[in-house]
Amino acid sequence: METVPGLCTVFYRDSPTFLLIPKLPLNYEKKRSYIIHIVGANTHTDPRFSHLGPFKDTTTLKIIIGDVDEPPLFSMTSYVMDVYENAKMGTLVGAVTAQDPDRSNSPIRYFIDRGLHGDRYFNIDANSGAIKTAKTLDREEMPWHNITVIASEVDNPSLLSHVPVSVQVLDVNDNPPELASDDDVVVCENSRPGQVIQTISAVDKDDFANGPRFFFSLAELPNNPNFTLQDNEDNTASILARRQRFSRVTQEVYYLPIVISDGGSPSHSSTSTLTLRVCACGRDGKVRTCHAEPFLSSAGLSTGALIAILLCIIILLAIVVLFVTLRRSKKEPLIISEEDVRENVVTYDDEGGGEEDTEAFDIITLRNPAAAEELKFRRDVMPDIQRVRRHSPPLVLDGVDVHEFIKQRQIEADLDTSVPPYDSLQTYAYEGRGSPPGSISSLDSATTHSEQDYNYLCDWGPEFLKLAELFGEESQQTT
């Protein structure tokens, strides 16, 4: 058989058949047919019949490649693009190209796979494949963006091809340098002039090309009387003392503003404030303490003595609070027992002057109807006798009925404008002289016995059970 590139033949021993298997993928657009010459020979010949030979035959095999609709083919297996940070939205980043490998050469449409990249940093033109920015990019936040572009045929959208696209964000000098560490700097009290206190350095979020070299200088006060700054020209600076000895008592903390500039274009600078704390150090330079000594220490009071004094004060306060609490808890209750059923007039502070206020309820006026001749006023405010009498004529009780008396009292209460408009208990001494029911006061009923049957109180519920027991006992005693 003639050797054809991309094809191989598999023969079966002792069989007149064979298989033709492709070794490489066949491409219709590159070669549409193959012609193969096949020779078949008998490998087991009998010498007796050699004069009848030759025992072989030749044939020609033509293989035709069928056309299949294939997906679009990108011009590159992957793309790498770049764009500067802070570029405006819609800036062109690059473009991808793909074509239909089939004879139909169908138009291609492009789009970004949003399922893999939910963040919309880029957009792509569906017809040209041009990729543009959809957001402002920040190299310090994300220096690389990886997206996947998909190409599909317009005539057959189900045929898709994918290609990875990597976009590098180029640096722009948009960040000022800063101190590498904002920790406090220790200044020993026994420092000498020209002694190096601390060596500081700076960092920049931008790329190395837009960062170092850094320049250091003092802000606002170049001739600082306490410290000076020396630029070492290697992206570091040294803080030196300008005078001898520092005292924690005089000043414990110093603040040193430092200006740092970078070497980018355009150059950016920032001012950082360095905190220098005065501490007590040994001869070897090791820090012993950085806190100022307490004022009481000079008076000879140690820490243990101060703790003992504080404990004594706390104990005394606890004793005072306990004593006040016990004094308040010894207050006698208003009614000693629930069984005490005596008739007592209980006066609360919000109704008068407390338990000592015997004028809150005038019992004499209830016993003596003649006392009603005196004009009674509200007891929750100071009465103005002249004004009340000016608005209402005096009332003569002889020969007037209860209706007129109550109406007159109502007029007096309505015309009294010297008190707030709230309801108040009005005490009337007149109970209706000559009325058939007689006096309704319970003060004069101690000598009389009521024939009323109070058994119905038992049917009023548990709220009136105590009242039913009291009147029930009284009825039994009278019978």
The tens digit of pLDDT for each residue in 26-72 reads 777 778 788 888 887 777 777 777 777 777 888 888 888 877 878 99
Do 138 and 223 fall into the same domain? no
**244 and 278 belong to one structural domain:** yes
What are the φ and ψ backbone dihedral angles of 88, each rounded to 5 degrees? -65, 155
Check whether residue 220 and residue 202 sit in a common domain: yes
pLDDT at 93: 95
Rounded distance, CA 315 to CA 49, Å? Answer: 135
Residues 16 and 108 in one domain: no
Q: How confident is the model at residue 213 (pLDDT cuts 50, 70, 90)?
A: confident
| Domain membership flag for residue 323 | no
Which amino acid type is present at position 7? Answer: L
**What is the C-alpha radius of gyration for the chain, rounded to an integer number of angstroms?**
56
Report the distance separating Cα 413 and Cα 417, nearest Å. Answer: 8
- Distance between CA atoms of residues 427 and 378, nearest Å: 8
Residue 22 has pLDDT above 70, yes or no: yes
Query: Both 185 and 286 in a single domain?
Result: yes
**In this predicted structure, what is the pLDDT of residue 36?**
83
| Residue 3: pLDDT band with limits 50, 70, 90 | low
pLDDT higher than threshold 80 for residue 417: no
In this structure, is residue 324 part of a structural domain?
A: no
Distance CA 189, CA 448 (A): 102
* C-beta of residue 300 within 8 angstroms of C-beta of residue 226: no
Average pLDDT over residues 68-81: 91
Predicted confidence (pLDDT) per residue in 288-306, tens digit: 877 655 544 444 556 778 8
How far separated are the first and last CA of the chain, in Å rounded? 146
Q: How many CA atoms lie within 13 A of 381 on its CB side?
A: 17
CB 144, CB 167: distance < 8 Å = yes
Indicate if 186 and 154 belong to the same structural domain. Answer: no
Structure tokens at 267: 């150059």
Look at residues 146, 170, 194 and tell me which one is the last residue of a structural domain.
170
Is residue 420 predicted with pLDDT exceeding 60? Answer: no
Same domain, 272 and 372: no
pLDDT class of 386 with cuts at 50, 70, 90: very low
Domain count of the fold of the chain? 4
Q: Is residue 453 part of a domain?
A: no
For 85, the domain range is 73-170
474 domain-assigned: no
Final residue belonging to a domain, choices 107, 137, 170: 170
Same domain, 276 and 207: yes
Min mean pLDDT across 2-6, 121-125, 195-199 is at 2-6
| Torsion of the alpha carbons at 317, 320, 322 and 323, rounded to the nearest 10 | 170
Report for 17-31, 356-370, 372-386, 430-444: range of highest mean pLDDT: 17-31
> Does residue 282 share a domain with residue 186?
yes
Per residue, the 3-state secondary structure of 113-141, as one string, reads: CCCCCCCCCEEECCCCCEEEECCCCCCCC
Specify if 2 maps to a domain.
no
In a domain, 373, yes or no: yes
Per the listing, tokens 């109970």 go with 431
**3-state secondary structure (DSSP) of residue 53:** coil
In a domain, 461, yes or no: no
Same domain, residue pair 48 and 89: no
Residue 40, Cβ neighbours under 10 Å: how many?
12
* Domain annotation covers residue 471: no
- Model confidence at 2, in pLDDT bands (50, 70, 90)? very low
> What beta strand segments (E) does 196-309 contain?
196-203, 215-218, 227-231, 236-241, 253-261, 269-281, 287-289
Pick from 39, 64, 89: which residue ends a domain? 64
Q: Which position has the token pair 């239909």?
A: 100
Per-residue pLDDT, 469: 77
- pLDDT band at 388, cuts 50/70/90? very low
Q: Could you tell me which of 114, 113, 110, 148 has the C-alpha nearest to residue 129?
A: 110
**Shared domain check, 208 and 164:** no
Q: Give the CATH number, domain containing residue 137.
A: 2.60.40.60
Greatest mean pLDDT among 10-19, 120-129, 350-359: 120-129
Q: What is the pLDDT of residues 154-192, one digit of tens each?
A: 888 888 999 999 999 999 988 899 898 888 899 998 888
Q: Which residue, 227, 242, 232, 234, is CA-closest to 185?
A: 227
pTM above 0.75, yes or no: no
Asked if 39 and 58 touch (Cβ cutoff 8 Å), the reply is yes
Same-domain status, 186 and 286: yes
d(C-alpha 109, C-alpha 117), whole Å: 19
Q: What is the pLDDT of residue 267?
A: 86
pLDDT in tens, 424-470: 555 555 555 555 555 555 555 544 555 566 777 777 777 777 777 77
Does residue 259 carry a pLDDT above 80? yes
**Cα–Cα distance, 401 to 424 (Å, whole number):** 23
